[in-house]
Structure 1
Amino acid sequence: MKTHSRRRFLGTAALGAAALSLPRAKAALAPAPDAASATARKLKLGLIGCGGYGLADVRAAFKAGGVEVVAL
Structure 2
Amino acid sequence: MYLKGNPLLEDTTLDLNKIKQVVDLMKKSDLSEFEIQDQEFKLRIKRDAHGRIASAPATVASAPAPAPVAPQAVAAPVA
TM-score by length of 1: 0.25
Which of 1 and 2 has greater Rg? 2
TM-score by length of 2: 0.23
Q: With CA pairs under 8 Å and 6+ residues apart, which has the higher RCO, 1 or 2?
A: 1
Q: Which has the higher helix share?
A: 1
